[in-house]
Homo-oligomer: A and B are copies of this chain.
Amino acid sequence: MSNLNIVVVGATGAVGVEFLDLLARRHFSFGSLRLLASAKSIGRKMKCGNRDFTVEALDENSFRGAHIAFFSAGGSISKKYAPIAAKCGCVVIDNSSAFRMDPNVPLVIPEINPEAALEHRGIIANPNCSTIIALVPLWPLHRHNRIRRIIAATYQAASGGGAAAMQELLDATKAYLEGGDHKPQVLPHPYAFNLFSHNAAVDPVSLYNEEELKMVRETKKIFNDPDIRISATCVRVPVLRAHCEALNVEFTSPISPSEVRNWLTDQPGVRLVDDPHRNYFPMPREASGQNDVLVGRIRQDISDPSNRSIAMFVSGDQLLKGAALNGIQIAELLVKNGLGAAAA
Contacts and interface: CB of A to CB of B under 8 A. Distances in A.
Query: Interface size class for chain A?
Result: 35 or more
Contacts of A170: 177
A169 B193 contact: yes
Tell me how many chains of this kind the complex includes: 2
B194 A284 contact: yes
A71 interface: no
B169 A240 contact: no
A155 B237 contact: yes
A279 B170 CA distance: 23
Nearest to A189: B283
A297 interface: yes
B311 A257 contact: no
Interface in A209-263: 209, 216, 229-231, 233, 235, 237-240, 244, 246, 248, 257
Interface in A91-115: none
A188 interface: yes
A194 B283 contact: yes
Contact of A248 (B195, B201, B231, B244): B231
Contacts of A237: 155, 195, 237-238
Contact of A299 (B149, B207, B279, B297): B207
A208 B302 contact: yes
Interface in A248-297: 248, 257, 276-277, 279, 281, 283-285, 296-297
B229 A196 contact: no
A298 interface: yes
Contacts of A197: 279, 281, 296-297, 313
21 contacts: A150-B303, A151-B301, A153-B246, A155-B195, A174-B177, A177-B177, A189-B283, A190-B285, A194-B283, A194-B284, A195-B283, A197-B281, A206-B300, A206-B302, A207-B257, A207-B299, A209-B279, A229-B305, A231-B248, A231-B302, A233-B297
Given A153-B233, A195-B237, A233-B246, 9 more contacts: A189-B283, A190-B285, A193-B238, A195-B239, A197-B296, A199-B279, A206-B302, A229-B303, A231-B303
